[in-house]
């Protein structure tokens, strides 16, 4: 388990210390992080934390200090020259960071995101600079766009993330890491306007309905999500055929009966409920998480590698019915999406590799980001991430990023 709390928090602090100061060389047991002969050793063996909610992260996180707001403000919706500079540049894998690298690429290739990132205020003092995720991301982005190198190392950012308990050198679940990264970004951007923009860019608004089947009393709750976690199997454990079907399945009402019955305050007892999720709002960048897991009889989780085609163009008005939406027509009119990026996973649940297929928004070409290797590819290559039932180690799409065609 990942360390929690202050007392347990020590190992990672120690790791960080080791990372920064270790002077000796232990060949055959050396962790290489540095470019300039600064080498570190890491003996910390941290395991993957299975389910880490950002709540826990928030509790542990200590607001460091209030920083002066920067006056660096440009009018929105106009991209500066720098914003359009998003050449595809690789990121070195510095030890199982393929997952982080893929996600960073998805962030950096999104000009709507970099537009926000470039406007953050620069922290004043050194430690703040080092521990500020948005700032480190911006530095990395600048380094990528400035240099003529084919790849750069995300080392500083990795150290910064380590300071926020995002351990490196372990296998990550991309969806979870995406959430972690995003929450860190949101928290550390001091400018409320930017935070709002970031939320607008990524969060999905849904309304959860819970209705008692006996007295018909209904409770509604609005909530926002960062990803739409769609199932690949329907309630009868049959494989769904397309992404559209998965989305329909996600928004399909569920009957809570038997063991799943809930307590109804009106009836004063446990009653069958009907639960459903209605779509209220879709953001500029929509993230869909394909739940490619299947729980076998034992605790063993295995990966579903069968084929699931996803379209390049997605119109939510065609996918969802009137009842599944709770939005105005003007909002719904903008629900036309175009595929922007695919984070693909190859391997099994216990070990694997991530790479990202991203369509450059400025050039309109697909690129494949395999750590330090970046290559222009075609839609057919992206299609190869649909999955194959006969290739259990092949690459399969895991996170899909869709971009609104006509930004409001």
Q: Which residues are catalytic?
A: 98, 353
Residues in 141-170 at the binding interface with another protein, rule: CB under 8 A: 148-150, 169
Q: How far is the CB of 20 from another protein (least distance, A)?
A: 16
Question: What span, in angstroms and rounded, lies between the C-alpha atoms of 244 and 236?
Answer: 17
Q: How far is the CB of 173 from another protein (least distance, A)?
A: 16
The count of chain residues that interact with another protein, using the rule CB under 8 A, is 47
| Terminal CA-CA length for the chain | 44
Task: Enumerate residues 6+ apart whose C-beta is below 8 A from 99.
Answer: 171, 172, 173, 174, 177, 354
- Residue 18 in contact with residue 42, Cβ under 8 Å? yes
The residue (of 143 and 200) whose beta carbon lies closer to another protein is 143
The residue (of 25 and 301) whose beta carbon lies closer to another protein is 25
Binding to another protein by CB under 8 A, coded x per residue (else -) over 349-368, reads: --xxx-x------------x
Helix, strand and coil percent figures for the chain, each rounded to 5: 30, 25, 45
Q: How far is the CB of 380 from another protein (least distance, A)?
A: 5
Q: How far is the CB of 39 from another protein (least distance, A)?
A: 5
Q: How far is the CB of 171 from another protein (least distance, A)?
A: 9
The residue (of 36 and 55) whose beta carbon lies closer to another protein is 36
Query: Rule CB under 8 A: is residue 19 a binding residue for another protein?
Result: no
DSSP string, 218-233: EEEEEEEESSEEEESB
**CA quadruple 379, 153, 162, 95: dihedral sign:** positive
Residues in 74-103 at the binding interface with another protein, rule: CB under 8 A: 90, 92-93, 95-96
Secondary structure E strands in 164-281: 204-212, 218-225, 228-231, 254-256, 262-264, 269-271, 273-281
Question: What span, in angstroms and rounded, lies between the C-alpha atoms of 403 and 150?
Answer: 26
Sole binder of another protein in the list 371, 402, 403, 404 (CB under 8 A):
371
The residue (of 156 and 381) whose beta carbon lies closer to another protein is 381
Q: How far is the CB of 373 from another protein (least distance, A)?
A: 5
Residues in 325-354 at the binding interface with another protein, rule: CB under 8 A: 346-347, 351-353
Phi-psi region for residue 373, left (φ > 0), alpha (ψ -120 to 50) or beta? beta
Stretch of residues binding another protein (CB under 8 A), selected from 39-47, 237-245, 271-279, 310-318: 39-47
- Residue 128 in contact with residue 64, Cβ under 8 Å? yes
Residue whose token pair is 């769609």: 230
Query: Rule CB under 8 A: is residue 11 a binding residue for another protein?
Result: no
The residue (of 112 and 353) whose beta carbon lies closer to another protein is 353
The residue (of 183 and 370) whose beta carbon lies closer to another protein is 370
Question: What span, in angstroms and rounded, lies between the C-alpha atoms of 7 and 270?
Answer: 42
Stretch of residues binding another protein (CB under 8 A), selected from 22-30, 175-183, 208-216, 248-256: 22-30
Query: Rule CB under 8 A: is residue 293 a binding residue for another protein?
Result: no
Q: How far is the CB of 107 from another protein (least distance, A)?
A: 20
The residue (of 123 and 387) whose beta carbon lies closer to another protein is 387
Q: What does the block give as tokens for 384? A: 């190869």
Q: How many CA atoms lie within 13 A of 387 on its CB side?
A: 26
How far is CA 143 from each of CA 89, 108, 148, 158, 191, rounded to the nearest angstrom?
A: 10, 12, 9, 15, 23
The residue (of 128 and 384) whose beta carbon lies closer to another protein is 384
Q: How far is the CB of 381 from another protein (least distance, A)?
A: 5
Closest CA to 44 of 21, 6, 25, 17: 17
Name the residues that contact another protein, by CB under 8 A: 25, 27-32, 34-35, 37, 39, 41-43, 90, 92-93, 95-96, 148-150, 169, 346-347, 351-353, 355, 368, 370-373, 375, 377, 380-381, 383-384, 388, 390-395
């Amino acid at each position: 388990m990942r360390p929690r709390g202050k007392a347990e928090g020590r190992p990672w602090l120690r790791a960080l210390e080791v990372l920064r100061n270790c002077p000796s060389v232990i060949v055959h047991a050396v962790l290489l992080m540095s470019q300039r002969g600064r080498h570190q050793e890491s003996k910390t063996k941290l395991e993957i934390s299975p389910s880490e909610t950002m709540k826990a992260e928030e509790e542990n996180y200590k607001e460091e200090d209030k920083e002066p707001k920067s006056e660096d403000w440009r009018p929105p919706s106009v991209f500066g020259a720098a914003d359009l500079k998003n050449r595809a540049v690789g990121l070195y894998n510095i030890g199982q960071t393929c997952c982080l690298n893929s996600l960073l690429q998805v962030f950096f290739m999104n000009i709507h995101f970099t537009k926000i990132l470039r406007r953050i205020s620069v922290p004043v003092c050194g430690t703040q600079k080092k521990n500020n995720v948005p700032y480190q991301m911006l530095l990395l982005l600048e380094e990528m766009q400035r240099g003529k190198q084919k790849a750069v190392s995300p080392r500083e950012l990795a150290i910064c993330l380590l300071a926020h308990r995002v351990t490196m050198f372990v296998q990550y679940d991309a969806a979870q890491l995406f959430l972690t990264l995003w929450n860190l970004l949101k928290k550390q951007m001091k400018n409320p306007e930017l935070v709002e923009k970031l939320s607008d860019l990524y969060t999905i608004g849904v309304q959860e309905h819970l209705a008692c089947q006996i007295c018909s009393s209904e409770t509604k709750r609005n909530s926002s999500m960062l990803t739409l976690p769609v199932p690949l199997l329907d309630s009868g454990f049959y494989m769904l055929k397309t992404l559209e079907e998965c989305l329909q399945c996600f928004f399909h009402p569920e009957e809570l009966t038997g063991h799943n019955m809930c307590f109804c305050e009106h009836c004063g007892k446990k009653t069958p409920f009907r639960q459903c999720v209605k779509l209220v709002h879709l953001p500029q960048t929509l993230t869909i998480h394909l739940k490619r897991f299947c729980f076998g009889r034992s605790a063993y989780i295995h990966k579903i590698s069968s084929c699931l085609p996803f379209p390049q163009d997605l119109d939510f008005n065609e996918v969802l019915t009137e009842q599944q939406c709770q939005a105005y027509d003007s909002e719904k009119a903008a629900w036309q999406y175009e595929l922007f990026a695919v984070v693909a996973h190859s391997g099994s649940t216990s070990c694997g590799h991530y790479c990202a297929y991203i369509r450059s928004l400025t050039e309109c070409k697909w690129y494949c980001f395999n750590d330090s290797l970046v290559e222009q590819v075609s839609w057919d290559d992206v299609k190869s991430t649909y999955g194959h039932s006969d290739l259990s180690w092949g690459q399969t799409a895991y996170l899909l990023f869709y971009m609104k065609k006509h930004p409001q």
